[in-house]
Amino acid sequence: MEVVNTEQIFARVFCEMRPRTPLPFIHVKFRKYANANAQVRLFDGTMEVRLADTLAGAPDTVIEALAEILLSKLFRRPVPGSSNDRYRRYLNRRDVRRNLDLVRQIRGRKRVEHPQGHTYNLEEMFEELNFRYFHGLMARPILGWSPHASRTMLGHYDPPHNAIVLSRILDRPGTPRLAVEYVLFHEMLHLRHPAEHNGARRCVHTKAFKEAEKQFEHLREAKAMLRKL
Ligand SMILES: [Zn+2]
């Protein structure tokens, strides 16, 4: 069996994509990221590859797929579907996901602000929704407002931290309570209905999730309010 290192894999992929370009000096650094991040930069005849150390144990075929993804992006070429698929499949493996969750728990610092906002109290709201829709049986996760008022991410549930974070943009007197309740309810459903992993696919809003969401009273009104934020 041929022993190859990460530099050699990147060199091989580089030669395949740019056969006429002289091979740069390739330097791979493993960094302690809180996830499976990867970056590549090319300057002064050096290609610097930064990979999360969580990828250090990945099989060569996965590193090769990642090299194809990163170099395609670097050279502004379409990423081959097969490479994307191979890399996603690896990240979706149960043991890999468990390892990443652990690393996130240990390294990731969660930026969450106190649940008592300027306008709404998330703990109080959680208990009301818990009583109304979950028979009061849901264990309370960490709840908090995001430091930044994001419009694109109104809320998210973070399983490794067991935290629900709502965007600060919802904590305004002009935002109707129903709209905030709906976002919180949606994230509570993520806690109740975990994502399903199937090969390279990851389904976040499962059938069961969508059914449960329909129970929310005034669902349509709430969604319409969010569109007007
Ligand atoms: Zn969702």
Instruction: Label residue 227 left, alpha or beta by phi (over 0 means left) and psi (-120 to 50 means alpha).
Output: alpha
Q: Ligand 1 mean position to 209 CA, how many Å?
A: 9
Residues 113-133: tens digit of each pLDDT: 999 999 999 999 999 999 999
SS3 category, 163: strand
Residues 6-31: tens digit of each pLDDT: 999 999 999 999 999 999 999 999 98
Q: Ligand 1 mean position to 216 CA, how many Å?
A: 14
Residues of the chain by 3-state class (helix, strand, coil), percent to 5: 45, 20, 35
Q: Ligand 1 mean position to 63 CA, how many Å?
A: 30
Q: Ligand 1 mean position to 121 CA, how many Å?
A: 21
Sign of CA dihedral 54, 203, 153, 188: negative
What integer pLDDT is reported at residue 4 of this predicted model? 65
Alpha helix ranges (H) inside 108-160? 122-133
What integer pLDDT is reported at residue 125 of this predicted model? 98
Give the pTM. 0.62
What integer pLDDT is reported at residue 1 of this predicted model? 36
Q: Ligand 1 mean position to 116 CA, how many Å?
A: 23
Can you tell me the mean pLDDT for 175-199? Answer: 93
The residue among 149 and 214 whose pLDDT is bigger is 214
Q: Ligand 1 mean position to 192 CA, how many Å?
A: 12
Residues 33-78: tens digit of each pLDDT: 877 789 999 998 899 999 998 888 899 999 999 999 999 999 999 9
What integer pLDDT is reported at residue 123 of this predicted model? 95
User: By the 8 A CB rule, do 111 and 166 touch?
Assistant: no
What integer pLDDT is reported at residue 46 of this predicted model? 94
Environment class of residue 44 by beta-carbon count within 10 Å: exposed (0-12), middle (13-18) or buried (19+)?
exposed
